[in-house]
Amino acid sequence: MTEPQSDADFFASVVAEIENEAQIRATSGEYPRALLRTLDEEFRRWLPDSASQQGIEESIRGIELASYVDPVVPIDSRSRLGRKVKYSIRRLTYFYHRHITQQITVLGIHITRPLRLLDASLKQLSRRLTALEDSLDVNTIEREELLAGLSGGKLTEDLSAEIVTAMSSVAGRILMTDSVDLDLLRSLQNPGQSAYGVGPAVIPGNDDLELRYESATDHLNVLPGQSLAGLILTGMTDRLSLNEQLRTLRKALNKCAPGARIVIIITLPKYWEQLLGPVGADLLDGRPLHPETWVHLLKREHAENIEVYKASDQSSALVTAILK
């Protein structure tokens, strides 16, 4: 019952294209944001708990299985007569046993149901909290319009050189996200290093580089813990809301191994304000953070050797650190 491989490959490639397209649509504001939120909430509400890989589901299932009492009494016996007698008693009393055991089983289900509800409520609460945090910011469409004045911007040569120096001793995977500077990424392709870029913008014709076309958050979600030896955060530091930046930083640091080298690239707030004007600065309050704030945040994460470098033209800055 095997199908031609060409069909399998073709349909798999179409699904991959659809996944990419869906991801763009989900984040681009193409669909009404309020409708998306309602639907996502409804979708998660009924997603089988097993699909969300929560250990609590298995525990509840265990309780449910344990609460099932079998009404069929064993009739094993050494003698044939004994078996027959037990069998007759079982037939005669089966209705009674079944009645009793069903009530016990139903009791078990009634005990686990509140646990399930509690579990579901906690998950819902967590989702609502995240949504509430995000709702403190301007909506996605407005945000995109306001940020249109920001270009991907190339790093100044002096800052690029600082990053290359900072990363020179790093051996292992280095992630640059999510506004990838291709020249910088190329200069990090040294023996023993494996630098790659992740970002939502299409960067065609760079086959010599490992580039992933997805959002930084999605990528960090699937990345194994402590798998990075180096991390370069850029782009998101200029665009994301305060809460989003803090969450991304926390998530990213969780993916870094002890000793990992951290580099955060920031457009300096004064220059950023010049680019976007007072409206953007007012409505997109909380970004970009000052270098001093990043230093504070990294200190709170117990990073060490924290250094700040400002670009010669005062447009941007670097904060480098080593994670303990």
CB of 71 to other proteins, least distance (A): 8
Cβ proximity to other proteins: between 87 and 148 the closer is: 87
CB of 24 to other proteins, least distance (A): 9
Cβ proximity to other proteins: between 10 and 96 the closer is: 10
CB of 110 to other proteins, least distance (A): 7
* Bridge partners for 174 per DSSP: 195, 230
Question: Cα–Cα distance between 171 and 192 in angstroms, integer?
Answer: 5
CB of 109 to other proteins, least distance (A): 5
CB of 220 to other proteins, least distance (A): 17
Cβ proximity to other proteins: between 116 and 251 the closer is: 116
Question: Cα–Cα distance between 172 and 228 in angstroms, integer?
Answer: 7
* Bridge partners for 323 per DSSP: 303
Q: Which two tokens stand for residue 5?
A: 């491989």
For tokens 């960090």, what's the residue?
220
| Residues 122/124/127/128 CA torsion (nearest 10 deg) | -110
CB of 195 to other proteins, least distance (A): 28
Cβ proximity to other proteins: between 47 and 171 the closer is: 47
Cβ proximity to other proteins: between 139 and 305 the closer is: 139
- Site residues (vs other proteins, CB under 8 A): 1-5, 7-8, 10-11, 14-15, 17-19, 21-23, 25-26, 31-32, 35-36, 38-40, 42-43, 46, 48-51, 57, 60-61, 64-65, 68, 70, 72, 94, 102, 105-106, 109-110, 112-113, 116
Closest CA to 233 of 244, 219, 248, 223: 248
Neighbour-count burial of 244, counting CB atoms closer than 10 A to its CB (0-12 exposed, 13-18 middle, 19+ buried): middle
Give the CA angle between residues 208, 212, 218 to the nearest 5°: 165
Element (H, E) at 202: none
Specify whether the CB–CB gap between 174 and 196 falls below 8 A: yes
CB of 201 to other proteins, least distance (A): 19
Cβ proximity to other proteins: between 65 and 81 the closer is: 65
Cβ proximity to other proteins: between 47 and 201 the closer is: 47
CB of 222 to other proteins, least distance (A): 12
CB of 254 to other proteins, least distance (A): 23
Cβ proximity to other proteins: between 125 and 171 the closer is: 125
Query: Which 3 state secondary structure label does DSSP give 137?
Result: coil
Cβ proximity to other proteins: between 99 and 324 the closer is: 99
b/e map 3-24, b = 16+ CB within 10 Å: eeeeeeeeeeeeeeeeeeeeee
* Bridge partners for 231 per DSSP: 175, 262
Question: Cα–Cα distance between 145 and 25 in angstroms, integer?
Answer: 16
| Amino acid present at 151 | S
Q: Which DSSP letter does residue 293 get?
A: H
67 φ, ψ (degrees, to nearest 5): -80, -10
